[in-house]
Amino acid sequence: MSLPSPLNQRTIVEQHRAMEEQQQASFTSFLKWAAQLGISDSPHPPVSSSSSSCLGHTLTVANFPEAGGRGLAAVRELRKGELILTAPKSALMTSQSVIDKDHVLARAIKSYHSLSPTQVLAVCLLVEVNKGRRSSWYPYLTKLPRSYDILASFGPFETKALQVDDAIWLTEKVISKAVSDWREVAALLEQLKLKPQLVNLKAWLWASATISSRTLHVPWDSAGCLCPVGDLFNYAAPGEESAATEVSVSDYSLLQVRASRDGNGTEDPLLGDEHIDACSGRLIDGGYEEDKAAYCLYAKKNYKIFEQVLLSYGTYTNLDLLEHYGFLLNGNPNEKVFIPLEHDIYACHSWPADSLYIQHDGKPSFALLSALRLWATPQNQRKSVGYIALSGSQLSPENDTIVMKWLLSNCRAILKSLPSTVEDDLSLLEAIGKAQLLQSIEMPNNLPCAAAIEFCKFLESMDLCCGGIEVVLLSALPSKVKKSIDRWELAVQWRLKYKKTLVSCISFCSRTIEILSPENGLSR
Ligand SMILES: C[S@@+](CC[C@H](N)C(=O)[O-])C[C@H]1O[C@@H](n2cnc3c(N)ncnc32)[C@H](O)[C@@H]1O
């Protein structure tokens, strides 16, 4: 196949422009609709709901290709702690608000007591989508993404591309949970006589991903709420903003805390806590405020005009971000790399397993270092030095050398056991990026062996034979292939970050061993 001719390229550009204009017009009417619901970025919203937009005083919708795509930008300088968006309770889409207005759904759902709050909200969402233009949420529903890249949407090829057992295990677990959740609601969806395309697994995955990646926490429903416009804020890791401000900001999880969704919606005890700004004595990101009967969002830091205004949905590793939101961060300060630990390492301390990891900068976590120091101590001496290790202090240079050597050789062994190297992954990402940019898949002839094999396997998994093809235009391919390329890229990016952290750990251990060596005079 050949690349588009200049004439065809012009037609594509024109089509694209026409589509953008159409989208802009529909967004303008969406923002007007939101204003009518009482959503506003002004601390003093107009009394009548005749405003032509809910934005413009503080925020505007903008595109940030490098940080989340569609998001919200400041239209003026914002001060930390300033109210930036208010959405009254009536503008929040919750299970209750949908069920209250739909008697058929209310009657049907009564017989399904065992469904979790998240399942109920997903059913409500599908019911509203099924209504089409008749739904009072229609302007909002049409602005939701058509598909998501969260782990539950990964296919077998993309799952395998994660390469690391823990990540593959988690992906398989979330996929099978999504399938079993769907099976549990299948009878209800049938009973509600939704259109066939809304009762299948694909639709269920879409609804669950919408909830996973967009709901805000509300105190009365552990499934959270969907907040038009309020769900357009992209994510910044908590703590990132403190570098730019004087007061350190506490970590308040604004979007729904995921742990609370697991099981039967048991609340996370932290959710009851209000995380208060040390200066203003007020919620930092925001939350539902009973006295105002509204969801109120506040600037987490000072913003310059046109800067993207971000929220911290919570503290997440890159795997968590992929699981719940379908993206990952470069330089995520909360990244954790877990490595396999032998049983006797666990047996000699009481640190929780999830505290034993390698940090994003390659250093072992406080607990991992402490646990390894104890494990590297002869068993009969552990009791007497236990408190020193627990306090984070070095037991001896020799002990630390053993620990660093253990870590170093384990990181090396893990890297060796993985099917591709850092260099392979970098080449693969370049090839994937080129395919996305040129909108065509071409098997590059200079790929390293492991990357070339994977590229070929991708083509085969998409039923695009690997051997004979030269160029396949993405625009001519089903969206399934384009989505798969995006997810494959995420998987490669994730495993590359994992490997880079192990490489940093190896460097850290080598440097430390060097410093501790007798030649440096630090050994006793
Ligand atoms: C609450 S929505 C934010 C608005 C979203 N960009 C949109 O267009 O509707 C959360 C989703 O935005 C994207 N996102 C948010 N923050 C991001 C970031 N820092 N980098 C990349 N994607 C991000 C992810 O797809 C995530 O699931």
Residue 337 burial by Cβ neighbours in a 10 Å radius (0-12, 13-18, 19+): buried
User: Is any ligand 1 atom within 6 A of the Cβ of residue 215?
Assistant: no
Q: How far apart are CA 78 and CA 68, in angstroms?
A: 21
Sort 390 into a burial class: Cβ within 10 Å, 0-12 / 13-18 / 19+.
middle
95 lines ligand 1 (CB under 6 A): no
User: What's residue 471's pLDDT?
Assistant: 57
Q: Does the structure show a pLDDT above 50 at 378? A: yes
- Structural contact between residues 276 and 249, judged by C-beta atoms closer than 8 angstroms: no
Residue nearest atom 21 in ligand 1 by C-alpha distance? 68
Give the sign of the dihedral formed by CA 199, CA 204, CA 207, CA 211.
Answer: positive
Q: Which of 73, 53, 55 is nearest to 63 (CA)?
A: 73
Q: What is the pLDDT of residue 171?
A: 98
Domains of the chain: 30-92+227-328 (2.170.270.10), 95-214 (no CATH), 335-524 (3.90.1420)
pLDDT-derived band of residue 285, with 50, 70 and 90 as boundaries? confident
What pLDDT shows up at residue 362? 97
Q: What residues contact 272, with CB distance under 8 A and at least 6 apart?
A: none
| Per-residue model confidence (pLDDT) at position 314 | 86
Name the average pLDDT for the chain.
87
Mean pLDDT on 248-265: 38
pLDDT value, residue 26: 80
Nearest CA to ligand 1 atom 14: 68
Instruction: Give the atom of ligand 1 at the shortest distance from the alpha carbon of 232.
Output: 4
Split at pLDDT 50, 70, 90, the class of 255 is low
* pLDDT exceeds cutoff 80 at 103: yes
How many angstroms separate the alpha carbon of residue 462 from the centre of ligand 1?
27
**Which atom of ligand 1 lies nearest, measured to the CA of 236?**
19
Cβ of 484 closer than 6 Å to ligand 1, yes or no, is no
Interatomic CA distance for residues 154 and 326, integer angstroms: 10
Mean pLDDT for 374-401 is: 93
Task: Quote the DSSP letter at residue 234.
Answer: E
pLDDT exceeds 70 at position 251: no
Which tokens sit at 211? 């909830």
Q: What is the pLDDT of residues 433-454, one digit of tens each?
A: 988 888 788 778 889 999 999 9
Q: Whose CA is nearest to atom 8 of ligand 1?
A: 70
* Shortest-distance atom of ligand 1 to CA 214: 1
For residue 144, the ligand 1 atom closest to its alpha carbon is: 9
Q: Quick count: other Cβ atoms within 10 Å of Cβ 430?
A: 14
Distance 235 CA to ligand 1 centre (A): 6
Q: What is the ipTM of this complex?
A: 0.99
Percent of the chain at pLDDT > 70 equals 84
253: closest CA among 243, 264, 232, 268? Answer: 268
**pLDDT computed for residue 432 by the predictor:** 94
Give 208 Cα–ligand 1 centroid separation in angstroms.
16
67 Cα: distance to centroid of ligand 1 (angstroms): 8
- 226 alpha carbon – ligand 1 mean position (Å): 14
74 alpha carbon to ligand 1 midpoint, in Å? 17
Phi, psi for 302 (deg, rounded to 5): -75, 140
Å from CA of 318 to ligand 1 middle: 14
234 close to ligand 1 (CB < 6 Angstrom): yes
Q: Is the C-beta atom of 69 inside 6 A of ligand 1?
A: yes
Residue 231 CA to ligand 1 center (angstroms) comes to: 9
pLDDT value at 469 more than 90: no
Model confidence at 349: pLDDT above 60? yes
pLDDT of residue 281: 34
In one-letter notation, the amino acid at residue 147 is: S
Residue 397 alpha carbon to ligand 1 centre in Å: 46
Q: Tell me the pLDDT tens digit for each residue of 131-153.
A: 999 999 999 999 999 999 999 99
